[in-house]
Amino acid sequence: MPQFPKWIVDEVRVRKAGLRGGAAAGTAAELAARELHTVCDEARCPNKGKCFSEGEATFLILGDICTRKCGFCAVKKDKPRPPDPGEPRRVAELCLKWRLKYVVFTSPTRDDLPDGGAAYFAQTNRLIKQLSPGIRTEPLIPDFQGSEAALKTVLDSEPDVLGHNLEMVAGLYAGARAGADYQRSLDLLAASKRLRPDILTKSGLMLGLGEKPEELEKALADLAAHGCDLLTLGQYLAPSGGHRPVVKYYTPEEFSFWGARAKALGLRAVLSGPLVRSSYRAAALYRDAGN
């Protein structure tokens, strides 16, 4: 395993420092009071301190337990609990209280539900927009096992961006993404654009899992060819020693190169950097696409 770069350690330390402030404590307290989960906590995001200190969070709906066992992810794997019927409204109420202008919400994969949780995504989206007119919403959805009907359920709730992460290059799926399928994820993005060309599509890739340059080039070209508008590129950081190891740490210069390459291949807006995550600076990326 390559040595952890000092510049990443320093940057993570700076961002986590925000957790010591009163604003971050208030954010955490309000989430706890409403029994809401965030991907910031569950995925051990290195940006948590910065975002919490600014009153921002990416909501994790449909509980905090995933039905799949991806080798890179820190979200708990077990038998999920039934969906909480009050959760969508609590998310919407907190968006209103925080006066959010842009919100991202996602979920663990729920293959145990007939629609994969699509109806809850739609309900959450509608309630957020109902309570906070003018807010921009970005549901970051699982693949719904390829169900176009489930996808349409979410799109019919009128999100501004439909997110679904490719996560990694095709050659890594077999060993790191149990239950997922590279082409199925691309097809979901293409179907979203076909059904609702007015809604932007967004995806994300982690770098450092062992992908070759030509594989990464192909993944970027595949995303562009399947109608993806927005893209995030970030460094994979193993959540623990029991997760898939990091094979390579990309330098900031390499992230700049691949971000520029993605735009050259047809992506409308790209955010690329070591600590970039799917929902990081989501509103800014949306604006970068000309909105």
Check if the beta carbon of residue 76 is closer than 8 Å to that of residue 66: yes
pLDDT of residue 103: 93
pLDDT of residue 51: 47
Rg (CA), the chain: 18
Alpha carbon distances (Å) from 204 to 1, 56, 259, 273: 24, 20, 12, 12
Q: How far apart are CA 171 and CA 191, in angstroms?
A: 23
Which domains, ranges and CATH numbers included, belong to the chain?
A: 6-288 (3.20.20.70)
Q: How far apart are CA 132 and CA 148, in angstroms?
A: 28
pLDDT of residue 31: 83
Q: How far apart are CA 20 and CA 10, in angstroms?
A: 16
HSE-CB at 25 with a 13 A cutoff on CA atoms is: 3
pLDDT of residue 90: 95
pLDDT of residue 32: 83
Strand arrangement of the beta sheet that strand 230-235 belongs to: 37-38, 59-60, 102-106, 136-140, 161-163, 200-207, 230-235, 269-272
pLDDT of residue 4: 65
Q: List, for the chain, all residue ranges whose pLDDT scores fall below the cut of 70.
A: 1-4, 6-26, 39-57, 70-77, 239-240, 291
DSSP string for 3-49: PPPHHHHHHHHHHHGGGGSHHHHHHHHHHHHTT-EEHHHHTT-TTHH
pLDDT of residue 273: 92
Alpha carbon distances (Å) from 81 to 41, 118, 132, 214: 19, 16, 29, 41
Alpha carbon distances (Å) from 4 to 63, 80, 241, 247: 32, 34, 13, 11
pLDDT of residue 30: 83
Whole-model pTM?
Answer: 0.88
Check if the beta carbon of residue 177 is closer than 8 Å to that of residue 167: yes
pLDDT of residue 11: 60
The first and second tokens of residue 15, run together, are 């961002």
pLDDT of residue 74: 60
DSSP string for 42-99: HTT-TTHHHHHHTT---EE-S-SEESS--TT--SEESPPPPP-TTHHHHHHHHHHHTT
pLDDT of residue 199: 98
